[in-house]
Amino acid sequence: MTLRDEIFEQPERLASLLASQRDAVHEIARVIQAQGVQYVFLAARGTSDNAGRYANYLWGAQNGLPIALATPSLFTYYQHPPRLKGALVVGISQSGKSPDIVSVLSEGRRQGCLTLAITNAPDSPLAQAADLHLDIQAGPERAVAATKTYSAELMALAMLSAALADSHTLWEELARVPDWAEQALRLDDELARMAQRYRYMRQCVVLGRGYNYATAFEWALKLKELTYTIAEPYSSADFLHGPIAMIEAGFPVMAVAPRGAVYASMLEVLTRLHGEQGAELVIISDAAEALALAQSPVPLPPEVPEWLSPLISILPAQLFTFHLTQVKGLDTERPRSITKVTETH
């Protein structure tokens, strides 16, 4: 099983997760609601931390749940964890083996909080430390760079949001995700050609906002892991507060800008980068106006609601990165200096 295989496996895995775990998700939602949770305290690292960024917007916007992103070092090195009264303590980890994430859930249980583990490993230390466990069922992921486990984490978070909202409409939209994912992956040949243009790229900026703030961070992470590009992710709003000054003619900017609440603000920034500063733009979007600004436009399937767009927009970003890795003559399966499981403390 190669990285490319795992990227293309995602529609099937998302469909399977949706079908097999719906009852489990409804039961988890029932327990959360019965507990009277006031906020979510969420711990994760790496790719899973980017899934947490998605939850920050999703559960806030659709479920009214404030989310605090944990600082695990307070629980390990400093040994002064914060008071967590009223929290649902959530740990997200593909392997479930990171001691610092496990320590956050263990402390949550010690303080009497409800705890939830979202993992791809039901027998892992993290799953065993939690009151509740949601198995993302992505199957074995052998490539070092996480792809299908990331999209499965996003799907699990989206399913839980729909269950907490008790919304039939949200479940109907979720049911369309595997088909939208299939459509996005049909861009493979075009993305392979597109990657040739960026063979010598050494640095870039990756922009997103709202739900796709997570996508910007995850795309940048994959570019760093696989292509060794200095890829800096930003909210388009934060980008205007200083970092935009480094953009000059030809500077590569990757952007995720689907239609939705933040689209107008993204379009304004991209228009400025295109017209005033001559940036080299790679834009993932379902809006013709945004795509027209790009030297390398990446069209998304139409009708994807904004809350689900991160599950779809990350797929062409993964493929672009995969092909760029090959174009640069690098190893897509064994990037230097990193391993599949990273156990931080």
Q: Map the chain to HEC letters.
A: CCHHHHHHCHHHHHHHHHHHCHHHHHHHHHHHHHHCCCEEEEEECHHHHHHHHHHHHHHHHHHCCCEEECCHHHCCCCCCCCCCCCEEEEEEECCCCCHHHHHHHHHHHHCCCEEEEEECCCCCHHHHHCCEEEECCCCCCCCCCCCHHHHHHHHHHHHHHHHHHCCHHHHHHHCCHHHHHHHHHCCHHHHHHHHHHHCCCCEEEEEECHHHHHHHHHHHHHHHHHHCCEEEEEEHHHHHCCHHHHCCCCCEEEEECCCCCCHHHHHHHHHHHHHCCCCEEEEEECCHHHHCCCCEEEECCCCCCHHHHHHHHHHHHHHHHHHHHHHCCCCCCCCCCCCCCCCCC
Q: What is the pLDDT of residue 101?
A: 96
Q: What is the mean pLDDT of residues 117-140?
A: 96
Q: What is the mean pLDDT of residues 323-337?
A: 92
**Start and end residues for every CATH 3.40.50.10490 domain found in the chain:** 3-175, 186-327
| CATH homologous superfamily of 186-327 | Glucose-6-phosphate isomerase like protein; domain 1 (3.40.50.10490)
Q: What is the pLDDT of residue 337?
A: 72
Mean pLDDT check: name the lowest of 32-41, 77-86, 178-187, 332-341.
332-341
**pLDDT tops 90 at residue 339:** no
Domain 3-175 bears CATH identifier 3.40.50.10490: yes
Q: What is the pTM of this model?
A: 0.96
Mean pLDDT of the chain: 96
Q: What's the pLDDT band for 85 if we cut at 50, 70, 90?
A: very high
Q: What's the pLDDT band for 336 if we cut at 50, 70, 90?
A: confident
Q: What is the mean pLDDT of residues 247-276?
A: 97
**pLDDT tops 60 at residue 340:** no
Q: What's the pLDDT band for 53 if we cut at 50, 70, 90?
A: very high
Q: What's the pLDDT band for 1 if we cut at 50, 70, 90?
A: confident
Q: What is the pLDDT of residue 167?
A: 96
Tens-place pLDDT, residues 234-256: 999 999 999 999 999 999 999 99
